[in-house]
Amino acid sequence: MKKLAITICIALVSLLLGGVSANARKESRVASQDVEKFTHKEAGVQSELPKGWKAKPDADVITVSSADDSLQVVFWVPDEGTFDAAVKDLDKELDKTIKNIKTTDKPTQDTHNGMSHYSQNGTGEVNGATIAWSVDVLGAKKPLIILTFAAPDLIEKHSDEYLKLVGSIKKIE
């Protein structure tokens, strides 16, 4: 879990400082033929990247970012082995990185492409900067937590691309 917290902090610092270098962006590309895809093998899911977006795997954590690096999405399998346990311990996971957490709506629970799905949104602070965040938990092969964050005024800028990314997440059979 320490590595995950460090990965999220690095992604947040990158977001807050205006992105990563061109070399790092080039290295983080995930190649495919027509559509760029990435797979989280441990969770057993695959997703399509919106045009220009990047996916950077680091062990069992995958960080996906918008073309301008202003929106970050971190995918990881939590220590909890079940969907229900992952949802139950979600606040503890978020508290490791985000301070002054405020939820902006009631959590929802439904299904997403045949997988159990839990979602919640809010605001908070990382290193003194205000962020907007959303978190999703999917019941795939293993539970998958998807933490999305950006400066509050940049969420809308990427909403269509983000919905495409999330909508394409499918369980690998």
CATH number for the domain that contains residue 82: 3.40.1000.10
127 to 11, 12, 99, 102: CA distances (angstroms): 12, 9, 9, 16
Full domain range(s) for residue 60: 2-171
Task: Kindly indicate the confidence band of residue 22, based on its pLDDT and cuts at 50, 70 and 90.
Answer: very low
Say what the pTM is. Answer: 0.81
> Contact at 8 Å (CB) between 11 and 74?
yes
Q: How many domains does the chain have?
A: 1
Angle, alpha carbons 56-16-69 (nearest 5°) = 40
Query: What is the per-residue pLDDT across 85-118, written as a single tens digit (0 to 9) for each?
Result: 999 999 888 888 899 999 999 999 999 999 999 9
Residue 23 pLDDT exceeds 90: no
Neighbours of 65 (CB within 10 A): 26
* Most distant pair of Cα atoms in the chain: their distance: 43
72 to 80, 85, 114, 115, 145: CA distances (angstroms): 23, 25, 25, 23, 14
Query: What is the per-residue pLDDT across 27-78, written as a single tens digit (0 to 9) for each?
Result: 333 433 456 899 999 999 999 999 999 999 998 899 999 999 999 999 999 9
